[in-house]
Amino acid sequence: MENDTVEAAEVPAGDGGRRSRGAGGGASARRAARVQTGSGPKLAYIRRALPVYEVLDEAGAALIEANADIVLEEIGIEFRDDPEALAMWRAAGANVSGERVRFPKGLCREILKTAPRSFVQHARNPENSVEIGGNATVFAPVYGPPFVRDLEGVRRYATIEDFRNFVKLAYMAPAIHHSGGTVCEPVDVAVNKRHLDMVHAHMTLSDKPFMGSVTAPERAEDTVAMCRILFGEQFVDENCVVINLINANSPMTFDGTMLGALKVYARANQACIVTPFILAGAMSPVTVAGTLTQVLAEVLAGAAFTQLCRPGAPVVFGTFASSISMQSGAPTFGTPEPSLVSYGAAQLARRLGLPFRTGGSLCASKVPDAQAAYESANTLNSTLMAGTNFVLHAAGWLEGGLAACYEKFVMDCDQLGAMQALMRGVDLSENGQAMSAICEVGPGSHYLGCQHTQDNFQTAFYRSAIADNNSFEQWSAEGAQRAETRANTICRRWLEAYTPPPLDPAIAEALAAFVARRKASEPDAFA
């Protein structure tokens, strides 16, 4: 697979690569020429060249690991509403009392030796397959909001049309490598059937990799069945084609719903992201070290369980950690402590030998304003520098995850392109050294007209499709637009230009028939 990246500002083939100075004129026309308007060039997933940033020394990491072992051995983890899981742990050598499972020291780590250090999640378009683990980073969109903030600026419940729109946007966005999962919750479709429409949208409206349903074991079974239609039964059994979010019900609990979905996917050889969902101070201790201890204990238990289901099944060390306001109890984002948790958890994942998931473009703001930008930038930067392999919520997150925002989705994607350029590190090739330019220009002149600048000016620097860097006068003459207004225009253009990727008609027909059959098999339920 080709993993060399393309300049984020590159114009798709459908635009012919031309920069119009026609009726729009000036900077706005040049900016428009840089906007992705078709399904053209995509950025391959990141192969980071920068070193990771670590906040724990050897003694600190060992201390957290020792404390997690104490939690597992003496306190234990509850596996609720799943007698089979308890029996599996008892057979594996754990001590089971009621629904509480206590793990002899080293048991979980020994079981996890069969888990892969990295794996490929295959997309139906092989060019869009991604590696999860190692020095790879994959960006996936927001997950789970029941509300959207639409292109008219209205906050409302999400619909299946919104869901399909966000799948289209993720497909169109050059710096999004993955279609994601529940990009918003389509409340206009019955609860017991909406997973069918969501998975079908990912499979047909995009050819990037995607996530499956975890809201009930039978919905996970539906997802796997649809994957077998799309990829073929043998291919699914031998390869990862869908990845799934399995949340621990922190503190120190896995419930029957999550365990049921985990078993379905792990037994089908599909990837699970085992993720403690932490609001520190409420669902974990208020300290970074205490939170890391609990996170590690929960992940060790949940990830090891995947290997009891099927040795070798891919599993990801996940964490979602936020702080809370100790005055109101509301979650806060972009603050220092969750960044430290991300850095530390990534380090612990590497020591354990598992791929790592965290972070994204998280914020508590209700609109795509300065608060949203600052908090998202703080979260995204630490996510990348921690060495995260799978970045959920990379674009579109607003209001503490309660809303998916069209405009912020596009604004976040613009920043993801910048992060992609940053992670390439320093170019030390002959062209990157630029000695020819230094020799040509000499003292006291400038580099604007030298040959090296002329050869490289189009790709030398990341160019935002949204930011305005012109004079106040030119900005005023072009409508004095704010960034979110420009993002609104881009978003509308993407949706208008969307063309679905080709899909074998026989497979498309089989998927549609499966969805129709499953929907007809039971009455609608909205609770």
Q: What is the DSSP letter of 228?
A: H
Q: How far, in Å, CA of 185 to CA of 148, rounded?
A: 9
pTM tops 0.95: no
Q: How far, in Å, CA of 397 to CA of 392, rounded?
A: 10
Residue 481 predicted with pLDDT over 60: yes
Residue-wise pLDDT tens digits, 143-189: 999 999 999 999 999 999 999 999 999 999 999 999 999 999 999 99
Question: Which amino acid is located at 291 in the chain?
Answer: T
Q: In 146-270, which ranges are E strands? A: 147-149, 155-157, 210-211, 242-248, 253-254
Length of the chain measured in residues: 527
**Contact (CB, 8 A) for 112 and 352:** yes
Residue 7: C-alpha distances to residues 73, 313, 456 (Å): 50, 35, 12
Q: How far, in Å, CA of 251 to CA of 285, rounded?
A: 10
Residue 4 predicted with pLDDT over 80: no
More confident residue, 139 or 459: 139
Residue 34 predicted with pLDDT over 80: no
pLDDT at 325: 85
Residue 29 predicted with pLDDT over 80: no
User: To the nearest whole percent, how much of the chain has pLDDT over 90?
Assistant: 89
Residue 233 predicted with pLDDT over 80: yes
- Give me 188's structure tokens: 């206009």
Residue-wise pLDDT tens digits, 183-222: 999 999 999 999 999 999 999 999 999 999 999 999 999 9
State the DSSP H helix or E strand holding residue 48, giving kind and residue range, or none if neither.
none
* 161 burial type by CB count under 10 A (0-12 exposed, 13-18 middle, 19+ buried): exposed
User: To the nearest whole percent, how much of the chain has pLDDT over 70?
Assistant: 92
Q: Categorize the per-residue pLDDT at 41 as very low, low, confident or very high, splitting at 50, 70 and 90.
A: low
pLDDT at 327: 83
pLDDT at 196: 98
Phi, psi of 64 (to 5 degrees): -60, -45
**Contact (CB, 8 A) for 412 and 484:** no
Residue-wise pLDDT tens digits, 256-305: 999 999 999 999 999 999 999 999 999 999 999 999 999 999 999 999 99
- Give me 262's structure tokens: 């985990």
The average pLDDT across 49-54 equals 96
Q: Give the chain's mean pLDDT.
A: 92
pLDDT at 42: 81
Question: 493: which residues sit within 8 A by CB, 6+ positions away?
Answer: 35, 37
The average pLDDT across 438-463 equals 95
pLDDT at 474: 95
Residue-wise pLDDT tens digits, 79-126: 999 999 999 999 999 999 999 999 999 999 999 999 999 999 999 999
Taking 3-state DSSP, the helix, strand and coil percentages for the chain, each rounded to the nearest 5, stand at 45, 15, 40
Q: Categorize the per-residue pLDDT at 526 as very low, low, confident or very high, splitting at 50, 70 and 90.
A: confident
Q: Which long-range contacts (CB under 8 A, 24 or more apart) does 91-98 make?
A: 92/308
Question: Which amino acid is located at 21 in the chain?
Answer: R
Question: Which amino acid is located at 446 in the chain?
Answer: H
Q: How far, in Å, CA of 422 to CA of 392, rounded?
A: 19
Instruction: For 119-132, give the DSSP string.
Output: EEEPPSSGGG-EEE
